[in-house]
């Protein structure tokens, strides 16, 4: 974990973290092996592979698993088509992640692995990439082409405690955590938990500000009990296996709007002396979002014509990966950031556009020409890439 919440100056309850409006502190006692600038893609991969010699910073602890061990991996961050966010760039790219999982399997150092993945468009991390014979069962919060959602937000139902200006959790993550807290995990199966999580994450089948939880990989693992992966709390011995129904309707919002919710709340609650600064921060953020959106749209017009703008937004369909040439995707992303500025967590949503440019086999020189024509002189200010690219 990056570990920037509990001690943040704007945390209304210093030293604590909550993930439910009526919940207690979930921060105390949490082991933190990698924090701050040690939270990187390279360290993430090294930890999975048990490669102590490759980790940099942190405690040096890795998954030193044996052939009969089960592994539970929970990952949450911002995401995009083929991409998982990291506090420190570069981000995690889907094919690189899956190659690490394949290598871990080839090493024969685990029996089974379960992955819970929370991020926008998280299905794209495994769609068409994760084989079914690795003994890895992966569950994602969304389909390959839809956003994730957040709940317990200010001015929504139910809201966080009144002193909070941020949302408390992601719908998928809150769903599985609250399910685990209220059931006997020695009795509940993975299949039962995932069915409950699907129900809540989809907003009870309406998909109104809800997403489709997806399953990939070795699905025969589903009947196994949850405790084999998440552990067991003896205090839950008398709780049911899977009978509690979370049927209370909740309001949620697109995860990519989370920053705007925070900035709006900050502006709305600011004192007279701080109001101008809060307004400036919000307007600058909105302008940069508009810059990213309009730039990608213009590049699409220059490459494919005004009548073919949908090419950038198209999906390839089930069973196919986001892109065939992952090196091309990385190159397109770096070209954009070189001339147009950093994508940011919001701009990550345009990764599908870059993938579709690659899938349509557009020459790199032609793409760079369009990007320069669109963004020449705009890679300046706080969002300038300065050679630090997202991938």
As annotated, the active-site residues are: 78, 120
Overall size of the chain counted in residues: 391
Q: How far apart (Å, rounded) are the C-alpha atoms in residues 303 and 162?
A: 48
- Side by side, which strands form the sheet with 112-118? 70-76, 112-118, 136-140, 214-217
Question: Smallest Cα–Cα separation from 204: which of 140, 144, 162, 247?
Answer: 247
Q: How far apart (Å, rounded) are the C-alpha atoms in residues 205 and 346?
A: 27
Report the alpha-carbon angle 106-91-193, nearest 5.
65
| Residue located via tokens 């749209």 | 297
For 222-245, give one letter per residue: b (16+ CB within 10 A) or e.
Answer: bebbbbbbbeeeeebeebebbeee
Question: Smallest Cα–Cα separation from 183: which of 237, 248, 114, 247?
Answer: 237
270: buried, middle or exposed (CB in 10 Å: 19+, 13-18, 0-12)? Answer: middle
Q: How far apart (Å, rounded) are the C-alpha atoms in residues 17 and 22?
A: 12
């Amino acid at each position: 974990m990056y570990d920037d919440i509990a001690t943040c100056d704007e945390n209304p309850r210093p030293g604590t973290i909550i993930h439910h409006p009526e919940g207690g502190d979930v921060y105390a006692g949490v082991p933190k092996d990698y924090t701050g600038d040690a939270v990187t893609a390279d360290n993430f991969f090294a930890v999975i592979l048990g490669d102590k010699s490759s980790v940099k910073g942190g405690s040096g602890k890795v998954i030193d698993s044996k052939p009969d061990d089960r592994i539970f991996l929970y990952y949450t961050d911002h995401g995009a088509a083929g991409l998982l966010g990291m506090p420190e760039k570069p981000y995690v790219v889907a094919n690189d992640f899956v190659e690490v999982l394949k290598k871990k399997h080839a090493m024969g150092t685990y029996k089974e692995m379960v992955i819970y993945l929370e991020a926008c468009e998280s299905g794209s991390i495994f769609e068409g990439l994760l084989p079914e014979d690795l003994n890895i069962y992966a569950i994602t919060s969304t389909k390959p082409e839809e956003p994730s959602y957040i709940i317990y937000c200010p001015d929504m139902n139910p809201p966080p405690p009144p002193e909070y200006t941020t949302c408390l959790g992601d719908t998928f993550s809150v769903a599985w955590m609250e399910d685990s807290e209220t059931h006997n995990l020695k009795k509940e199966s993975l299949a039962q938990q995932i069915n409950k999580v699907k129900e809540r994450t989809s907003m009870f089948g309406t998909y109104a500000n809800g997403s489709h939880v997806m399953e990939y990989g070795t699905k025969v693992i589903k009947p196994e009990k949850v405790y084999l992966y998440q552990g067991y709390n003896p205090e839950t011995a008398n709780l049911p296996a899977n009978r509690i129904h979370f049927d209370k309707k909740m309001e949620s919002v697109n995860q990519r709007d989370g920053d705007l919710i925070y900035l709006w709340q900050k502006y709305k609650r600011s004192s007279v002396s701080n109001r101008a600064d809060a307004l400036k921060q919000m307007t600058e953020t909105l302008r940069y979002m508009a810059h990213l959106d309009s730039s990608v749209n213009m590049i699409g017009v220059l490459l494919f014509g005004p009548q073919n703008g949908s090419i950038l937004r198209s999906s390839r369909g089930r069973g196919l990966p986001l892109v065939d040439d992952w090196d091309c995707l990385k190159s397109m992303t770096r070209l954009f950031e070189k001339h147009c500025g950093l994508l940011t967590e919001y701009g990550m949503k345009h990764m599908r556009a870059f993938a579709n440019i690659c899938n349509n086999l557009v020459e790199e020189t032609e793409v760079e020409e369009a990007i320069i024509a669109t963004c020449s002189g705009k890679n300046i200010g706080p969002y300038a890439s300065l050679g630090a690219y997202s991938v």
